[in-house]
Structure 1
């Protein structure tokens, strides 16, 4: 089972630079491959990288979309696994805040001895937390969705929906608000996490006026080995949502997903330029991805 990969759309020529910066922060990190391919009037750059065991994809394709905190990345610093966790959280924080924007200072909060939220110099949001884990262990990196605006209060329903879409879906920690807290109503989620497709994800509600919503700038990519998988996820996630081009879609909560074929990434990683261009030409004409057509384009080039 291939885990879900966060996909980040960076400004022109920033994807590789950002990947190299992120992979310098923590052990278990590496840039896996970088490739370039022609886009509409611009040379595109794609990079796959692993950060503390979590795979990511980054792309630069002209002017980037505006990255915002609607999807952030929780970094768990666990003293039970790393005796230097308290020191390491400060080191990573200092690097991420350089040229960035601090949203919540690194400090003591009721839910953690050490926590902070920052948007780094590329606009990507990170929540750093010194954890005190109980129960099932969590990975170091957990993508976190904030349900705000028109979907504030829907985080719990969204998690149940995602758990029904993926065969191995299950809920983890749930922390609802015990009472009304300003515009946030009792029962809405301060924080919760859930497990789907070999990946831990998190969700929270916020009814405050943030001025942002889910967008294509940060999407969640599902690598599919078979057309049957593509058909299943495409059908389930577009129900009540909105299909887009090239396997992109918005679900009924506005979250952006990519239902992708592993053929595409095999071509980008291992194909020559002729094979990459052949696959991309076919790919750009698709709405839902046709894995067989991509494989045929790859084989014939």
Structure 2
């Protein structure tokens, strides 16, 4: 069995935001599979309380983008409402077409194809697959002349047909993260469905512009085929599906925030919309998206005797209450 480093303390100078997927006790298998498929991948660290037992959490970086794998126990499994938009840019990755096809074959093995790999109006080569661990991937060959994108972009899909949700969720999320990382937060491109107006330009990111200060920004009641935001340095995509899908958001797919200090934990926690969902650093926002909000030194704090038991009694994590046990 491959030996991985323990979960390191995160960068203490900046907030980190990443997608997280509950895949049960199959984390070790998933790490081996993903590392074999992606040419630039590394395990940043694992959490394995019993050296002879299962890995309960892991951070994996693929071509510079990090995701978290979690053993949520019970019946928690990922949902297609939070997928990984995977950009194969020929201008960045030599042989991007062949590389995409190779990754597709590996992810499809034992998985389920939702959209076959072929040409679509938005890409000459695109496909959607749920792999055998339940994680949803949208693989896309991108235009090398287009604006650069990270290799992995967490993609949120809302199928609330009676309302336009994506832009409202995007605006709320960006507003919160602008309060803790304004230089790494902003709004990007938004493409409304036909007949609902047009979008020109891209929002600035950082202190030079207020979040959302773009003249042609669609109103919050406009349904979009695609839109994006930068949240604490992580690109996130938002879309309204336009059709009803049986892929509701759930705790099996969440966004993990590694915050720098209690003030950032408190600020991000203001997104919580349902006190009944608040448990052990988890909460749910008003759009149904689950968030894990923890200090970036949480694994260090949990080494103290009694720290895990104390954290399990918390809703929002209290750093001082854990630190006093050290």
Report the equivalent of 2:70.
Answer: 59
Q: CA deviation at 1:69?
A: 0.3
C-alpha separation between the residues in 2 aligned to 1:212 and 1:112? 23
- State the aligned residue count: 282
Distance in 2, matches of 1:160 and 1:114, equals 30
SS at match of 1:107: strand
- Matched residue, 1:183: none
The 2-side partners of 1:150 and 1:224 are apart by 34
Q: Distance in 1 between matches of 2:84 and 2:66?
A: 12
Aligned equivalents of 2:34, 2:259: Cα separation in 1? 26
CA–CA separation in structure 2 for the residues paired with 1:25 and 1:267? 34
CA RMSD, 1 decimal: 2.3
Shift of 1:61: 4.3
Residues 112 and 130 in structure 2, CA contact (< 8 A), matched pair in contact too: yes
Deviation, 1:264, is 1.3
- C-alpha distance in structure 2 between counterparts of 1:89 and 1:29, whole Å: 15
* Paired residue secondary structure (2:308): helix
Change (3 A) 1:285 1:10: same
Select between 209-218 and 24-33 the one with higher mean Cα deviation: 24-33
| More divergent stretch after superposition (202-211 vs 108-117) | 202-211
Q: How far is 1:34 from its partner?
A: 2.5
Give the TM-score normalised by structure 2: 0.80
Q: CA deviation at 1:187?
A: 4.1
Unaligned runs of 5+ in 1: 181-185
- The structure with more helix, counted as a fraction of residues: 1
- 3-state SS, counterpart of residue 157 of structure 1: helix
SS at structure 1 position matched to 2:49 = strand
1:79 alignment partner, SS class: coil
Give the superposition deviation at 1:159. 0.7
Question: What residue number does 1:124 align with?
Answer: 135
Deviation per residue, 1:181-227 (Å, 9 max, x gap): xxxxx941111111110100001111422122111001101111111
Q: Choose from 257, 261, 279 the match for 2:295.
A: 261
- 1:177 and 2:188 are equivalent in the alignment: no
Is 1:247 aligned to 2:281, yes or no? yes
* Partner Cα distance (2:114, 2:290) in 1: 23
Cα–Cα, structure 1 residues 133 and 163, in superposed 2: closer, same or farther, change >3 Å? Answer: farther
CA contact (8 A) 1:10 1:64 kept: no
1:179 is displaced (CA, Å) by 3.5
Moved more, 57-66 or 81-90: 57-66
| Residues 48 and 58 in structure 1, CA contact (< 8 A), matched pair in contact too | yes
**Matches of 2:244 and 2:256, distance apart in 1:** 28
TM-score in terms of structure 1 length = 0.86
Kindly indicate whether residue 292 of structure 2 is the aligned counterpart of residue 286 of structure 1: no
The more displaced of 220-229 and 242-251 is 242-251
Distance 1:112 1:43, change over 3 A: closer
- Would the alpha carbon gap of residues 135 and 171 (structure 1) be closer, same or farther in structure 2, given more than 3 Å must change? farther
Conservation of the 8 A alpha-carbon contact between 2:274 and 2:283: no
- What is the correspondence of 1:35-50 to structure 2 with a 5 Å cutoff? 35-37=47-49, 45-50=56-61
* Structure number having the greater strand percentage: 1
Q: 1:111 to 1:150 in 2, by over 3 A?
A: closer
Deviation at 1:265, TM superposition (A): 2.8
Q: 1:292 to 1:18 in 2, by over 3 A?
A: same
In 1, the alpha carbon distance for the partners of 2:287 and 2:73 equals 27
User: Superposition pairs for residues 1-301 of structure 1, below 5 Å?
Assistant: 1-11=14-24, 13-37=25-49, 45-133=56-144, 136-149=147-160, 153-167=164-178, 168=182, 169-179=185-195, 187-235=222-270, 237-239=271-273, 243-267=277-301, 271=303, 275=304, 278-297=306-325, 299=326
Distance change (3 Å), C-alpha of 1:88 and 1:152: farther
